[in-house]
């Protein structure tokens, strides 16, 4: 599924704090377009930039992360 | 000291052991570098008065000189200084000689030979930045008495604006990683932390923290005396200056060298007395670095510009000459097992992926692998890359991928149940205490 | 509506909302345990379990607010505002009512830390969240001790079901099955960090500073 809609660098970016992440997998369920699971259940950020139409899901994923490990970084200037 | 005698070599191969500090190559007579010696040169200006520079003057000087960090990452020194200065808070200053990389000895040699330069570099920075605390973070505890004597002598003549505190770094591979070092100096474990925030803005006990490799500090001390133009007389335009290198493995005189950046790799090997036998490959940059074939090394130089296209890097200046009577896959398997043990165990991909990679490498090395193992090694290497708080998984993956490229023929031989090596004596040092885990 | 009718309404509302709050709390604890296991319920993905846990928890707060409010207004219950906040000072069965007050205080702490989770950080939030394992038994005991309906079969049934459900979930939580979830991919059992892979703990690690270090060696 194509997810690129805006020029690179203008979108908020997903970032994982790996020291916190415990691979609970909630973010994978909410954002299958951007995040996959690896062999051990930890998220693979397939695409860090969050397109507008997934913004709500991304914010929800950040909010429900049980370990506060998922972050949305501001767009690169 | 660990001394391993290679039955096929004419000269004993001495390898470094981190538990006892460095063996032979560290000693004074073994330091070579021809006319290029700068920071390891016999000292004439030891007690010369230190110029007093403001932060802005120092930033300009480092910028003009183009000095890049010598701890492995090669980050421009002036940028780090400018970032810390921009916080407008009194920072913590750390001279990093943790040297967790078992194949590196240059920090130890430098601190033994020219502690004055390292401390002068610290002194310049702490004076300019009005540092709150200054640490000398040293991996080799054997150096402490000498360093303490040096510090006492300096205190007597008030050479350091802020007293320097000696801290012994734990014997861990990651002890020198910036955020791990900052964490340790704050009283925590050696645990790298997710960036941002950078250590430069929030490091030791939350303060802005400027951590420099000791070699970088020695260069800063000389720069302040001799100027940026002098500094640029050695090295290349993009990577100026000289650098320290630790050359070990199948060379006649394992040594710490000082050479201009951009020296050809064969010349580096020659400076270490030449190879003891035909080389199949070289390990550059240490255990998180990369293998390159001897053929590729023949035309390569000690610079990022030359090595990056080869998928390698110099890291903190480690060169290991690998003889053709050994198995590069077995050696890599040992190193990967070591690196897996040295993971801080904080990040899932590293905690799970590195032991998995170590098992796969062990299968390949021992001849019990199927062709699918090669693909799996490649896949899992990709899986751990970029997915940790620090670059430990990335370095491990780079080592494996470079081994599969460099020792590709050997890998095919292993899949067929054979091995071309004629000796199984390990070459590269790992933490001895855990060697039995293999 | 006469005053007497109003009093009766408040009395029923107070008791009823209390029971509903307990049932919701029980459900929230159950879902919290399921969430912690990292496993989805059949037909419900993990994030949904977490969201329902959160919603039910918030709903229980609402019912608890009704419960407390009605009983403070109700002359028959003779609750005073002080009793709502400070446990064990009530004139009516001080111990049992006090347990309810304690549960309320804990729930407020839980609510506040959960709403401020991102600011407080995971460690603080989790420490307070563990209090739910004390909160829930307090709420059950409070229902048992203060409840005026305890003689009735329906309340016994509700309480029994709540206790049984949480007890089963608790056993499950402590079992191997919980600690080693079966939905992980094959061969991916998460290794427990060995002594070696864990960073040295502050108590065990060797912290050496010169000059002591040289003499100790």
Instruction: Give B145's pLDDT tier (boundaries 50, 70, 90).
Output: very high
Check whether C203 has a pLDDT greater than 70. no
In the predicted model, what is the mean pLDDT of residues C136-146?
90
**Sequence-separated (6 or more) residues with CB below 8 Å from residue C69:** none
Lowest mean per-residue pLDDT among B361-365, C174-178, C195-199: C195-199
Q: Is the pTM of this model over 0.95?
A: no
Instruction: Give C55's pLDDT tier (boundaries 50, 70, 90).
Output: very high
Residues of A in contact with C122 (CB under 8 A): 20, 67-68
Instruction: Give C200's pLDDT tier (boundaries 50, 70, 90).
Output: very low
User: How long, in residues, is chain C?
Assistant: 217
Query: At CB < 8 A and 24+ separation, what contacts does B29-33 make?
Result: B30/B253, B30/B254, B30/B255, B30/B256, B31/B109, B31/B113, B31/B255, B31/B256, B31/B257, B31/B258, B32/B253, B32/B255, B32/B257, B32/B271, B32/B272, B33/B242, B33/B257, B33/B258, B33/B259, B33/B271
Q: How many other C-beta atoms lie within 10 A of the C-beta of residue B423? A: 14
CA-CA distances (angstroms) from residue B310 to B297, B324, B373, B396?
9, 20, 24, 17
B376–chain A nearest CA distance, Å: 12
Check whether C216 has a pLDDT greater than 50. no
Average per-residue pLDDT for chain C: 77
Q: How many other C-beta atoms lie within 10 A of the C-beta of residue B177? A: 28
- DSSP for residue C88: T
Round to the nearest angstrom and report the end-to-end CA distance of chain B. Answer: 21
Which is more confidently placed, C33 or C204?
Answer: C33
CB contact under 8 A, A17 and B389: yes
**HSE-up of A34 (CA within 13 Å, CB side)?**
26
Chain B 419-438, CB below 8 Å of chain C: which residues?
434
pLDDT digits 0-9 by tens, B194-207: 988 999 999 999 99
For residue B180, give the chain C residue with the closest CA: C199
Q: Say whether residue B383 is in contact with chain A using an 8 A CB cutoff.
A: yes
Residues of C in contact with A24 (CB under 8 A): 38, 46
| Among C35, C118, C190, beta carbon nearest to A68 | C118
pLDDT digits 0-9 by tens, B3-36: 333 333 322 223 333 332 333 333 333 444 455 6
pLDDT for C189 equals 35
In the predicted model, what is the mean pLDDT of residues C88-116?
87
pLDDT digits 0-9 by tens, B421-435: 888 888 888 865 443
B165–chain C nearest CA distance, Å: 9
Lowest mean per-residue pLDDT among B249-258, C9-18, C149-158: C149-158
A55–chain B nearest CA distance, Å: 22
C182–chain B nearest CA distance, Å: 17
pLDDT digits 0-9 by tens, B50-90: 888 999 999 999 999 999 999 988 899 999 999 999 999 99
What tokens appear for A71 in the block? 């972050």
pLDDT digits 0-9 by tens, B241-287: 999 999 999 999 998 999 999 999 999 999 999 999 999 999 999 99
Instruction: Give C201's pLDDT tier (boundaries 50, 70, 90).
Output: very low
The residue of C34, C37, C47, C182 whose CB has the most chain A CBs within 10 angstroms, and thus the best one to mutate to test that interface, is C47
Report the C-alpha gap between B152 and B115 in whole angstroms: 12
pLDDT for C179 equals 60
CB contact under 8 A, A39 and B389: no
| Among C191, C196, C200, beta carbon nearest to B190 | C200
| Among C197, C201, C205, beta carbon nearest to B351 | C197
**Sequence-separated (6 or more) residues with CB below 8 Å from residue B185:** B92, B94, B135, B137, B167, B204
What tokens appear for B208 in the block? 């802005």
Backbone angles phi, psi at B114, to 5 degrees: -135, 60
Q: Kindly tell me the burial class for residue A9, based on how many C-beta atoms sit within 10 Å of its own C-beta (0-12, 13-18, 19 or more).
A: exposed
In the predicted model, what is the mean pLDDT of residues B357-382?
95
pLDDT for B428 equals 86
Report the C-alpha gap between B211 and B208 in whole angstroms: 10
- β-sheet bridge partners, residue B93: B134, B210
Q: What is the ipTM of this complex?
A: 0.86
Average per-residue pLDDT for chain B: 87
Q: What percent of chain C stands above pLDDT 70? A: 76
Instruction: Give C112's pLDDT tier (boundaries 50, 70, 90).
Output: very high
A60–chain C nearest CA distance, Å: 9
Instruction: Give C8's pLDDT tier (boundaries 50, 70, 90).
Output: confident
For residue B193, give the chain A residue with the closest CA: A19
Contacting partners of chain B (3+ CB pairs under 8 A): A, C
pLDDT digits 0-9 by tens, B372-408: 999 999 999 999 999 999 999 999 999 999 999 999 9
The residue of B345, B353, B436, B438 whose CB has the most chain C CBs within 10 angstroms, and thus the best one to mutate to test that interface, is B345
Q: In chain C, what is the greatest distance between 2 CA atoms, to the nearest angstrom?
A: 89
Instruction: Give C39's pLDDT tier (boundaries 50, 70, 90).
Output: confident
CB contact under 8 A, B348 and A44: no
CA-based nearest residue to B248, from B427, B73, B107: B427
pLDDT for A5 equals 52
pLDDT for B108 equals 93
B364–chain A nearest CA distance, Å: 21
Report the C-alpha gap between C98 and C100 in whole angstroms: 5
Q: Say whether residue B355 is in contact with chain C using an 8 A CB cutoff.
A: yes
CB contact under 8 A, A39 and B191: no
| Among A25, A40, A68, beta carbon nearest to C38 | A25
CB contact under 8 A, B383 and A18: no
- DSSP for residue B433: G
Report the C-alpha gap between C166 and C26 in whole angstroms: 7
CB contact under 8 A, C47 and A20: no
Report the C-alpha gap between A18 and B195 in whole angstroms: 10
pLDDT for A6 equals 56
Task: State the Cα angle at C109 between C106 and C110, rounded to 5°.
Answer: 85
Report the C-alpha gap between C52 and C35 in whole angstroms: 10
**Sequence-separated (6 or more) residues with CB below 8 Å from residue C183:** C39, C40
pLDDT for B162 equals 93
Contacting partners of chain C (3+ CB pairs under 8 A): A, B
pLDDT for B422 equals 86
B141–chain A nearest CA distance, Å: 30
Contacting partners of chain A (3+ CB pairs under 8 A): B, C
pLDDT for C4 equals 80
CB contact under 8 A, B352 and A39: yes
Report the C-alpha gap between B199 and B172 in whole angstroms: 20
In the predicted model, what is the mean pLDDT of residues B167-183?
95
pLDDT for A38 equals 92
User: How long, in residues, is chain B?
Assistant: 438
Residues of A in contact with B191 (CB under 8 A): 19
Which residues of chain A fall short of a pLDDT of 70? 1-9, 77
CA-CA distances (angstroms) from residue B204 to B92, B174, C84, C205?
7, 16, 45, 18
pLDDT for C155 equals 87
Residues of C in contact with B346 (CB under 8 A): 199
What tokens appear for B90 in the block? 């009194």
């Amino acid at each position: 599924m194509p997810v690129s809609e805006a020029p690179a660098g203008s979108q908020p970016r997903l970032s994982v704090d790996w020291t916190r992440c415990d691979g609970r997998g909630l973010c994978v369920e909410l954002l299958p377009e951007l995040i996959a699971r690896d062999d051990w259940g930890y998220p693979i950020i397939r695409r860090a930039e969050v397109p507008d139409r997934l913004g709500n899901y991304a914010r929800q994923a950040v909010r429900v992360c049980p370990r506060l490990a998922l972050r949305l970084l501001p767009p690169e200037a | 000291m660990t001394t391993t005698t290679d039955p096929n070599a004419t000269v004993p191969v001495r390898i470094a052991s981190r538990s006892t500090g460095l063996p032979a190559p560290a000693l004074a007579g073994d330091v070579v570098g021809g006319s290029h010696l700068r920071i390891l040169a016999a000292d004439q200006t030891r007690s010369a008065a230190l110029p007093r520079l403001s932060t802005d003057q120092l930033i300009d000087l480092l910028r003009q000189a183009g000095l890049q960090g010598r701890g492995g990452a090669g980050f421009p020194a002036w940028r780090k200084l400018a970032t810390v200065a921009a916080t407008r808070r009194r920072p913590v200053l750390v001279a990093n000689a943790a040297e967790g990389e078992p194949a590196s000895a240059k920090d130890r040699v430098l601190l033994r030979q020219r502690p004055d330069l390292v401390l002068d570099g610290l002194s310049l920075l702490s004076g300019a930045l009005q540092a709150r605390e200054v640490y000398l973070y040293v991996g080799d505890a054997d150096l402490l008495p000498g360093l303490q004597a040096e510090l006492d002598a300096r205190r007597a003549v008030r050479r350091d604006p802020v007293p320097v505190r000696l801290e012994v770094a734990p014997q861990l591979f990651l002890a020198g990683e910036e955020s791990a070092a900052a964490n340790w100096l704050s009283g925590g474990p050696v645990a790298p932390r997710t960036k941002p925030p950078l250590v430069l803005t929030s490091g030791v006990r939350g303060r802005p923290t400027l951590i420099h490799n000791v070699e970088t500090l020695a260069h800063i001390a000389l720069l302040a005396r001799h100027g940026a133009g002098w500094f640029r007389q050695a090295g290349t335009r993009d990577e100026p200056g000289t650098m320290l290198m630790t050359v070990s493995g199948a060379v006649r005189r394992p040594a710490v060298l000082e050479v201009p950046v951009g020296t050809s790799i064969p010349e580096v090997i020659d400076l270490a007395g030449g190879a003891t036998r035909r080389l199949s490959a070289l390990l550059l940059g240490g255990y998180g670095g990369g293998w390159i074939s001897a053929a590729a090394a023949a035309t390569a130089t000690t610079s990022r510009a030359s090595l990056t296209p080869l998928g390698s890097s110099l890291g903190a200046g480690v060169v290991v000459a690998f003889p053709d009577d050994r198995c590069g896959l077995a050696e890599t398997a040992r190193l990967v097992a070591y690196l897996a043990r040295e993971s801080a165990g904080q990040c899932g991909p590293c905690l799970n992926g590195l032991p998995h990679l170590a098992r796969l490498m062990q299968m390949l090395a021992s001849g019990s692998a199927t062709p699918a193992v090669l693909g799996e090694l490649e896949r899992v290497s990709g899986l751990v890359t970029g997915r940790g708080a620090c670059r430990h998984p990335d370095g491990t993956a780079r080592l494996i991928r470079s081994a599969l490229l460099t020792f590709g023929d050997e890998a095919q031989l292993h899949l067929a149940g054979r091995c071309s090596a004629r000796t199984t004596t390990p070459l590269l040092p790992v933490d001895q205490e855990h060697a039995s885990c293999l | 509506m006469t005053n007497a009718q109003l009093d009766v309404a408040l009395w029923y509302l107070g008791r009823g909302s209390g029971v509903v709050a307990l049932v919701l709390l029980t459900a929230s604890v159950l879902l919290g345990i399921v969430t912690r296991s990292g496993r989805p319920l059949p037909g419900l993905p993990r994030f949904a379990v977490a969201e329902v846990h959160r919603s039910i928890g918030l709903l229980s707060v609402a019912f608890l607010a009704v419960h407390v409010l009605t009983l403070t207004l109700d002359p028959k219950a003779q609750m005073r505002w002080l009793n709502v906040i400070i446990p064990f000072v009530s004139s009516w069965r001080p111990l049992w009512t006090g347990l309810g007050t304690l549960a309320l205080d804990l729930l407020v702490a839980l609510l506040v830390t959960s709403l401020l989770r991102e600011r407080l950080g995971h460690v603080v939030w989790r420490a307070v969240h563990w209090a739910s394992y004390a909160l829930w038994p307090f709420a059950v005991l409070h229902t048992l001790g203060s409840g005026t309906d305890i003689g009735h079969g329906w309340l016994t049934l509700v309480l029994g079901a709540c206790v049984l459900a949480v007890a089963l979930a608790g056993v499950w939580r402590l079992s191997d099955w919980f600690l080693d979830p079966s939905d992980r991919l094959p061969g991916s059992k998460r290794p427990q960090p060995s002594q070696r892979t864990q960073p040295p703990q502050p108590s065990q690690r060797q912290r050496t500073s010169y000059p002591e270090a040289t003499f100790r060696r």
